[in-house]
Amino acid sequence: MPKKSTNMSGLQCLASENIWFDKPLYDEAEKCFYEGANGPPSQESEVNAILQDIAKSRQNILQSLNGSSSHAGGDQELVTRMKSMELENHTLHKVVAEMRAALQTLENRVATLEKSPSAKAAPVQAAPVKQVQNGDDEDEDDDMDLFGSDDEDDEEAERLKQERLDAYAAKKSKKPALIAKSSLLLDVKPWDDETDMAKLEECVRSVQMEGLLWGASKLVPVGYGIKKLQITCVIEDDKVGTDILEEEITKFEDFIQSIDVAAFNKI
């Protein structure tokens, strides 16, 4: 034993050193252990997840192939989009049909124009003009009808003109129609230098009608203490006439002698 023990002491030393030599082994073992404990199951779950995904996507593919719609939100969106596209397609078809019809009428028009080479752009209007020319004075080479068509135009120029007019009409129709308005500057005159001009202005402004907007005003000296009221108003061309305006204003005959239009401009 003692011998053994002496040996042992050396061995012990070695053995104690062995711990260090073996460290990689232990490490390996530890690694193996941990891998054994955690690794395999985790890998397995990952694989499972992938498999599940594959299955899901397979299902998805299947379902989308079958055209089923009740699966996911994303699909619904797609479907609604498709529906709107179908609708759009429909309207486009309609537009094409309309355009075809329009083209047809245009073609017809061109055909009629070509048939009657001397006819003007507007055959209906041109016809009486021609009659007048033939009937009246043949020697007079000037076109009597000022508002009529130009006489020098040949067919080609006429067609070019018509084309341009059509293009213009097309362009014009896209533009929103503006309401034509005018700006008026009115001189409103009292009876004498004692007329209450504030009251007079009140009377003028009390005149209300559709398409009429009263604007700024001022008093302008005329002479001998008389002042006149200058007042602007904006009128819509189609709704307000100067006659009716004058009529309405001069109804206040206790205050107003007359009105004059001092300026009349397009807006």
Residue numbers at the binding site for other proteins (CB under 8 A): 122, 125, 136, 142-150, 152, 161, 164-169, 171-172, 180-183, 185, 189-194, 213-218, 220-226, 230-235, 237, 241-244, 257-258, 260-267
In angstroms, the CA 133 to CA 142 distance is 10
Cβ closer to other proteins: 54 or 144? 144
- Work out how close the CB of 71 gets to other proteins at its nearest, in angstroms, rounded to a whole number: 50
- Work out how close the CB of 251 gets to other proteins at its nearest, in angstroms, rounded to a whole number: 16
Provide the token pair at 223: 């002479």
**CB atoms inside a 10 Å sphere around CB 89:** 10
Cβ closer to other proteins: 107 or 150? 150
What order do you get walking across the sheet with 212-223 strand by strand?
Answer: 212-223, 226-236, 181-189, 258-266
Cβ closer to other proteins: 86 or 243? 243
- Work out how close the CB of 172 gets to other proteins at its nearest, in angstroms, rounded to a whole number: 8
Tell me the helix, strand and coil percentages in the chain, rounded to 5. Answer: 60, 15, 25
Cβ closer to other proteins: 60 or 232? 232
- Work out how close the CB of 127 gets to other proteins at its nearest, in angstroms, rounded to a whole number: 14
In angstroms, the CA 209 to CA 240 distance is 8
Q: How far is CA 163 from CA 29, 154, 160, in A?
A: 93, 14, 5
Cβ closer to other proteins: 72 or 263? 263
- Work out how close the CB of 116 gets to other proteins at its nearest, in angstroms, rounded to a whole number: 18
In angstroms, the CA 85 to CA 240 distance is 47
